[in-house]
Structure 1
């Protein structure tokens, strides 16, 4: 550990400004855990030589506290707030690959509490001076916080809370890398500054960059790192790289640094800023199963098939394709005679609809065809290739309860059936078995594997 402290003979390394925003939940008296957002700014060198002092860098913080926490403090006659914040950080360098715990104590400015609404608290702290014994990459990550706070009344005295500690737990799933830097061998000449990156392609979640190559006298450039907000987001052995896992419709600024086999890193290229595309429609494929009732003849039809949809992220507009398999309908003629109709369903265009607020609705125009009617399941009484409804049915379906596109759910709806035509000599008798209003459908959608 001696290699990580003390002062070397070389001068301090030049620093670059880095920023990081983090969300926490801090436990306050009377309230319990409350959300607090902290923005951090620091000047951290992008590279430092082995044996060269990396001066302790100043970390400025701005913490945003919500209105509910402010009201709770005000209820105890607090008019100002002061104290300090102790931040857990981890320094990862070649001689400490598992991370060295480092604590940074920041003094918080005395802050006047507002009459209403939230407020911000500014703080400032300094990390310890460090020197390193091995070349390679280094990074600083920020962890949890402990706030020691003293609210005061208008006469400067403490409130009934006195001085208390608030433990702040970092919300999971965030990038908590404050800074990345390179530790280089002393006296070696590093790569030249790369050319300004240019955007060669972009999607809603990725950006592809290209840049001019770096050179190195007496050495070899081995690769490049792409940085955004102080963190490496892509690496390449050539002069192009694709940055993945970006957020749609978001602005990003990128720089590029070259590196060699000795651990040397170039100065950062000039920056380029790009905004990712809007997200494309999400696609979902479902297997369909359920029943429909034909009111005119008290008939029940088992339904199977599929529904493929695309949902526009900005508008919730749905387009898709509803496919219903042919099915046998169990009908009753004259209220007692069992008749089986073999039905097929021909879509008259794509399915349309909306998905908003957890509710899915679809609308499909379907022409119903009856290739055969049989009495008692064996006696043909009509049907044929030309037997069909005289007009398409407007099949409208809506989710029953909250619909999760990733999990599927239930759809219910209704439709009318037009008169039949082309079903043979007794078309006039067969049509009343089918035609009419008030028909219902009750379906369950199950996501297909891989959708």
Structure 2
């Protein structure tokens, strides 16, 4: 069995990428944050922020057992709900919950209702507060090879607010059936059970933000991991100097030396060194840089896949970088360097599997 404590979040690059495979015991904690809408007595519908944590043991082959441990759910109760509870004299709240989870393993789709105990929690007179719920999950045998996912759905709570002396409030015990707000990725875990696939190809789209210039440029390209990939395509940033002088800068990012990285669950992180060439810069439409204009040193950047990334389909990737002084730009080298160099630049990319 290989251990994986959440397989959400990781990295990428458009370069030659020798990757280190995860060890059999590699583990990463799940920390999934979602929002739900829940009805409450007296105050109606409320939006709650929910954090789900768990640890998974994933079988190495079909027929093995999938186990979940350390399942916990933290719910942030908003100020309006706090005031409503305080209004009826609640000093604490406790209860039970049932979280809806769907396990999909090839042709098998298994809905699960996971019982949770909501720990007794003090209710402040106002402001947010957080309740903690925990529970155990029975092991599940996974019979099929292929993509396997664990996704969270709606949940239901049965809550009992109590006064400081332990007696019930006028609300008694109430049930709140909460629904997952739309537009979120509900997948807690995604992996290929028994998969022999070892390489992946992606198309790349997105942007790079150049902080000093106050500009954003589109980024396109392609990527193959862990085999050789391609550099980003050339792009152009449009900017204004002093807020009114129009300018453009052509940008070409490419690999500079060997790249390294690690697979991290269903994604990866890439440690890249980039060469930046700026073959043309214009101000007022006039060229002001020689064709040999470039960054004076390689640019290190760690590119990481983000929440919702999956090796089989792709997803978000990001990374920050610092632009060093420019060189080879001709008579305006020092001035052009002052326009572009500095930290806080960023890639915000999306990979699409091919």
Interval containing the TM-score (normalised by the shorter chain):
0.5 to 0.7
Residue number in structure 1 paired with 2:114: 104
The structure 1 residue matched to 2:169, chosen from 145, 156, 159, is 159
1:206 positional shift:
7.2
Q: Which has the higher contact order (CA 8 A, sep 6+)?
A: 2
1:90 positional shift:
0.9
Report matched runs for 1:11-410 at 5 Å: 13-16=2-5, 17-45=29-57, 48-96=60-108, 99-184=109-194, 203=208, 211-213=225-227, 226=267, 228=305, 231-233=308-310, 235=312, 243=315, 275-276=346-347
Paired with 1:183 and 1:88, the residues of 2 have a C-alpha distance of: 23
- Provide closer, same or farther for how the CA distance between residues 119 and 251 of structure 1 changes in structure 2, counting only shifts above 3 A: farther
1:114 positional shift:
1.3
Q: Deviations over 1:161-194 (max 9, x none)?
A: 1111011111111111111122228xxxx68899
SS in 1 for 2:125: coil
Paired with 1:72 and 1:119, the residues of 2 have a C-alpha distance of: 13
SS in 2 for 1:77: coil
SS in 1 for 2:54: strand
1:243 positional shift:
4.3
Paired with 2:177 and 2:205, the residues of 1 have a C-alpha distance of: 46
SS in 1 for 2:155: strand
- Provide closer, same or farther for how the CA distance between residues 101 and 107 of structure 1 changes in structure 2, counting only shifts above 3 A: same
Larger Cα Rg: Structure 1 or Structure 2?
Answer: 1
Structure 2 spans left out of the alignment, 5+ residues: 6-28, 210-217, 229-264, 269-304, 321-344, 350-354
1:127 positional shift:
2.4
- Provide closer, same or farther for how the CA distance between residues 193 and 173 of structure 1 changes in structure 2, counting only shifts above 3 A: closer
Superposed structure 1 runs of 4+ greater than 3 Å apart: 45-48, 190-194, 199-214, 224-236, 274-278
SS in 2 for 1:74: helix
TM-score (ref. length: structure 1): 0.43
1:233 positional shift:
3.8
Paired with 2:131 and 2:169, the residues of 1 have a C-alpha distance of: 19
